[in-house]
Amino acid sequence: MSEAEVVLASAGSERNLLVFKLTEFEGNRLLDVRKYFLDKKSGELCPTRKGIALGESGFSVLKQVIEEKQADITDWFIEDAVVRGVASNVTRMNQAGDALSKIEHSVHVLFEDWKSPAFFRAEFEGPLTLLFLNTRHPFARRLADLVAEDNPSSHIVISMLEGFARAKHLYDGESSGVAEVLLDGLLVNWGLIMTNPAKSKQDACSS
């Protein structure tokens, strides 16, 4: 039992409360940082064993570390928050993608000419995807010809582009904006590479 104590601050909920106190025990003055919980029977906040009591020397060391390494400590917590934020967004996007996969949707292919390395873009009207092929781009022109011929392979490519566009759309307006910027960059680089697409070679051993 402490002989004297002064509560400096507290943080958190009553179920998980962190309390900062100046306390005195057996003639030693301490800074006590400890988790507390609400006792359901008594209705009182009670200390747990999760905490630390620092004497003058311990507090001096802690104060020095915080002053000298504040930037490192702050960066450490920011990095953790970013990782947790990304994980949370990935989970949310996966759930949205799963829900979208259960909805019937269709695609309408349109042809436009615009100055951009990207060979396609998409707009959405509910379950309908408007997929625009950039006829200024050589790959898009080739694909447009296949679409006009109703070539079966064009259906596969259009379905892949529509699926990618839908998946990308889930990240539009994402809070940090990082995913949206990266995906936009991906579209540009994809378009640049597809100006000279790889030529497929049939395996000489295939029948």
Q: Tens digits of per-residue pLDDT, 103-128?
A: 888 999 999 999 889 999 999 998 89
pLDDT value for 102: 83
pLDDT value for 204: 45
The arithmetic mean of pLDDT across residues 160-188, rounded, is 81
Residues 127 and 100: beta-carbon distance below 8 Å: no
Tell me, what amino acid is at 68? Answer: E
139 pLDDT more than 70:
yes
153 pLDDT more than 70:
yes
- Determine how many CB atoms are found less than 10 A away from the CB of residue 207: 3
The answer to pTM > 0.75 is: no
Through-space distance between the first and last CA atoms of the chain, rounded to whole angstroms: 87
200 pLDDT more than 50:
yes
CA-nearest of 2, 58, 12 to 35 is 12
Residues 22 and 5: beta-carbon distance below 8 Å: yes
Query: What is the C-alpha to C-alpha distance for residues 33 and 21, in angstroms, rounded to an integer?
Result: 6
Q: In what order do the strands lie in the sheet with 16-25?
A: 4-13, 16-25, 28-38, 45-54
Q: Which residues contact 47 (CB under 8 A, 6 or more apart)?
A: 19, 34, 35, 36
Percent of the chain with pLDDT over 70: 87
Residues 157 and 166: beta-carbon distance below 8 Å: no
pLDDT value for 62: 94
pLDDT value for 207: 45
Query: What is the C-alpha to C-alpha distance for residues 89 and 18, in angstroms, rounded to an integer?
Result: 28
Query: What is the C-alpha to C-alpha distance for residues 187 and 75, in angstroms, rounded to an integer?
Result: 32
Residue 32 pLDDT grade (very low, low, confident, very high; cuts 50, 70, 90): very high
3 pLDDT more than 60:
no
CA-nearest of 130, 90, 85 to 107 is 130
Q: Which of 21-35, 94-108, 164-178 has the highest mean pLDDT?
A: 21-35
Residue 177 pLDDT grade (very low, low, confident, very high; cuts 50, 70, 90): low
**Tens-digit pLDDT profile for residues 38-88:** 888 888 888 999 999 999 999 999 999 999 999 988 888 877 766 676 667
Q: What is the chain's length? A: 207
Residue 176 pLDDT grade (very low, low, confident, very high; cuts 50, 70, 90): low
